Amino acid sequence: MHDIIRVTGLTKRFNELTAVNDLSFSVKEGDVYGFLGQNGAGKSTTIRMLLTLIAPTSGEIELFGKKLSGNKNEILSQIGAVIEKPDVYKYLSAYENLKLFAKLSDKKISHQQLMDQLEMVGLAHRAKDKVRTFSQGMKQRLGIAIALVHKPKLIILDEPTNGLDPQGIADIRNLILHLSRERNKTILVSSHLLSEIEQVATRMIIIDKGRKLVEGSVAELFDPAQTLIELDTFNNVEAKQKISNSNWAASLQSSRNELVVMKLDKKDIPQLHRFLIDNNIDVLSLQPRHSLEDYFLQVTSGNQHVEAFTN
């Protein structure tokens, strides 16, 4: 599959602040590409450069195989985007909003096509209702319908679940999966919520302070053989000694916060649990952790990252 987005050496400085620092990544056709980083990591700045809302200080952006700098109008006509909270007219109905934005796209879009868009995002039954009566989750879904009205090849969603309740988050997650699997859309979705992106992304990148930390497919980054287990017992020193003298010794990792940390295949967790019981190790907690999350915590400094990436 060819690249839909290719970013090379992208940098953006605001006076003394470097918001994006020599960033390179690629999004392939058909990807749901997770763009991850804590708040302030440079995600929104990067997205605004992709959409020509701000100009880069240096670096190059290619979309659909063409340089953005010389093909702005042609490229942007193939992109649909929702940047944080969607801009909708609260005094208009859902249908009237969609119809208005359809006219702005200069494409002939029928009444039935507009209703199909609302049906896709679960708002057909509220088509005539004023947007001011909508929940934030419904406004987000309407914003996505508006972004899709001109049938773009690429969809860019910047923090689409911000401020949503659990049901709203689940609705957006399911919509992203539908757009990818049923509509064959390429999607770039930014978030600071690792657990949400994990459920929808095929590939992802983590950035911190404008720099890339890691990029790859979900299969590579969430290798079940690399699952980290945090084990807390009534006597962690004794537990660690017993594990060190067993067949589990190779799985033992360096301790963190006085816990016993092990790395093993997720399918081996029940067997480990039985070993602990058989050896009279009283377990207070046994918690699997994603290796990607652990990697992020290791390569970044400060406790502020823990809250941002832990759900």
Give mean pLDDT, residues 70-78.
94
User: Is residue 241 scored above 50 in pLDDT?
Assistant: yes
CATH 3.30.70.980 residue spans of the chain: 224-289
Strands 154-158, 186-191: parallel, antiparallel or unpaired by DSSP? parallel
d(CA 264, CA 253): 10
What is residue 299's predicted lDDT score, i.e. its pLDDT? Answer: 53
User: Is residue 307 scored above 70 in pLDDT?
Assistant: no
User: Is residue 106 scored above 60 in pLDDT?
Assistant: yes
Q: What is the pTM of this model?
A: 0.78
Amino acid symbol at 53: L
What is the average pLDDT score of the chain?
88
Weakest mean pLDDT among 189-198, 223-232, 233-242, 266-275: 223-232
User: Is residue 206 scored above 60 in pLDDT?
Assistant: yes
pLDDT digits (tens, 9 = 90+) for 169-199: 889 999 999 999 999 999 999 987 777 887 8
What is residue 257's predicted lDDT score, i.e. its pLDDT? Answer: 61
What is residue 265's predicted lDDT score, i.e. its pLDDT? Answer: 85
Amino acid symbol at 89: Y
Which of 168, 150, 157 has the alpha carbon at shortest distance from 104?
A: 150
What is residue 306's predicted lDDT score, i.e. its pLDDT? Answer: 42
Backbone angles phi, psi at 76, to 5 degrees: -65, -25
What is residue 254's predicted lDDT score, i.e. its pLDDT? Answer: 67
The highest-level CATH class for domain 3-221 is alpha beta
CATH 3.40.50.300 residue spans of the chain: 3-221
> Reading across the β-sheet that carries 260-264, which strands appear in turn?
260-264, 227-233, 283-289
User: Is residue 305 scored above 70 in pLDDT?
Assistant: no
Cα 76 to its chain centre, rounded Å, is 22
Weakest mean pLDDT among 56-60, 161-165, 201-205, 295-299: 295-299
d(CA 105, CA 214): 37
Q: With respect to CATH, is domain 224-289 assigned 3.30.70.980?
A: yes
pLDDT digits (tens, 9 = 90+) for 248-300: 999 888 655 688 888 888 889 899 989 999 999 999 998 877 655 665 665 55
What is residue 154's predicted lDDT score, i.e. its pLDDT? Answer: 97
What is residue 30's predicted lDDT score, i.e. its pLDDT? Answer: 94
Sign (positive or negative) of CA dihedral 133, 137, 142, 143: positive
pLDDT band at 224 (very low <50, low <70, confident <90, very high): low
pLDDT digits (tens, 9 = 90+) for 16-63: 999 999 999 999 999 999 998 888 899 999 999 999 999 999 999 999
Give mean pLDDT, residues 215-240.
82
Amino acid symbol at 124: A
Assigned token pair, 50: 């992709």
